[in-house]
Amino acid sequence: MMKERDGGKALLFENIVGYRTEVLSGMCGTKHRLALAIEKTEAQLHAAVNEAIDRPIEPKVANDGPVKEAVDSPKLSSIPILTHYEKDLGPYIASGIVSAKSTDGTIENVSIHRMLVLDDNHLTMRIVPRHLYALCRMAKEKGKNSLDIAIAIGLHPSVLIAAASPAPFGVSEYGVANAMMNSSLTLSEIGDSGLRVPADSELAFEAKILLNKEVDEGPFVDLTGTYDIVRKQPLVEVTRVYHRREYIYQALLPGGTEHKILMGLPYEARIFQAVSGTVPKVKSVNLTSGGCGWLHAVVSIDKQTEGDGKNALMATFGAHPSVKHVVIVDADIDVANLQDVEWAIATRLQADKGLVVIPNARGSSLDPSANQEDGTTTKVGIDATRTLKKPIEKFAKARIPE
């Protein structure tokens, strides 16, 4: 059902066999719904995300909140955590955020991670070499055997967008979310570690990453819709569970539209900002669905000089290190209409002038054609903007008069 309705209406499953808990899927399945959640239009989404990243606002903290209505010992089998595809190693939490702090408490990080359920009080999660990875390394260097974390599920869309955003290390993504929410986010501390979760979360875990214990993680279907490789990842011990008395479990279909939008939207915003710093005007950015919402970008610009297309390509690759193929088009091309984009490539590209190939670059470990151990790939940039050496009329689409 989740696959059949992918990209459409959100689904609420009210009668789950063996569980009392309802399951929600697809809440963030369209950009229109995300725009509604932060009281913006779709056209304002990129600017709103960039503004929030650049000017985060520290949230309020309350002693209590709906997430603390009930506190239990961990029993993960009592939660309707889904096994999504036939070869998944087991049930995976795909819509949870992980918050952690540095050992001195000065740095807070909030990020999204896929989490494999191993038993009633153990998980493992994929930790790529970014901010949470850095906090784990810092803890090990201080002689720590574990890193305290909080896991939260059932969240306002702004929290998920912020957790997926490329905010700088040292900037709490909670502040980014609060900025998008017009300062309405309230956090609540759980446990003795001082870690914080949104007070209105449906469900939260107090847990710790065991830094010296690793287990197999995967296979798992990620953004590409293919199975990621099996890796050794840290063991996570869940020590306490907090939840609303009647909580809803928020599910997410890996590789589905909701997954692509949540992961891709913050990077579309960063690409927009980066390209805006290199060319006079950027019209739009699209991390395409066919490119897994992650690997293919189309950027439309208002070209002023012959070099603008190439500069826009380089800025896009720099803003989103995982992107593999980039197409730069003119402002008259609709980046969401791939037939329009293909037409621009067909009528405006000369490959000996507009094609850029970058071998052995850092890419995405999710790409099955890349080196998934070290993450290197070959990137291709396509400057499909019209040359300024010919009259603009030669590149205009013919129109039938009214």
Indicate which CATH number applies to the domain containing 307. Answer: 3.40.1670.10
Residue 268 lies in a domain: no
Contact 135, 147 (CB under 8 A): yes
Q: For the CA atoms of the chain, what is the radius of gyration?
A: 22
Tens of pLDDT, residue by residue over 162-196, are 999 999 999 999 999 999 999 999 999 998 888 99
Domain holding 206: CATH number? 2.30.110.10
Distance, CA of 61 to CA of 373 (rounded, Å): 41
Q: Tell me, what's the pLDDT at 4?
A: 57
Q: Report DSSP state, residue 43.
A: G
Which amino acid is it at 218?
G
Structure tokens at 185: 């986010």
Scan for tokens 């990020």, then name that residue: 111
Residue 109 lies in a domain: yes
Scan for tokens 């056209």, then name that residue: 43
Q: Which pLDDT band holds residue 292 (cuts at 50, 70, 90)? A: very high
What is the mean predicted confidence (pLDDT) over 197-222?
A: 94
Do residues 70 and 143 both lie within one domain? yes
Do residues 168 and 297 both lie within one domain? no
Q: Tell me, what's the pLDDT at 148?
A: 96
Do residues 230 and 348 both lie within one domain? no
From residue 296, alpha-carbon distances to 9, 289, 325 in Å are 25, 8, 5
Do residues 246 and 311 both lie within one domain? no
What is the mean predicted confidence (pLDDT) over 360-384?
A: 88
Residue 402 lies in a domain: no
Considering the chain, what is the average pLDDT of its residues? Answer: 93
Residue 85 lies in a domain: yes
Do residues 171 and 26 both lie within one domain? yes
Q: Tell me, what's the pLDDT at 59?
A: 96
For residue 308, the enclosing domain spans 277-395
What is the mean predicted confidence (pLDDT) over 61-83?
A: 93
Do residues 88 and 228 both lie within one domain? yes
Residue 391 lies in a domain: yes
Distance, CA of 43 to CA of 158 (rounded, Å): 16
Do residues 288 and 248 both lie within one domain? no
Instruction: Determine whether 222 is an active site residue.
Output: yes
Residue 400 lies in a domain: no
Residue 2 lies in a domain: no
SS3 state of residue 221: strand
What's the number of domains the chain is made of? 2
Pairing between β-strand 11-13 and β-strand 122-125 as defined by DSSP bridges: unpaired
Do residues 39 and 185 both lie within one domain? yes
Q: Tell me, what's the pLDDT at 120?
A: 95
Residue 266 lies in a domain: no
Active-site pick, 6, 148, 200, 222: 222
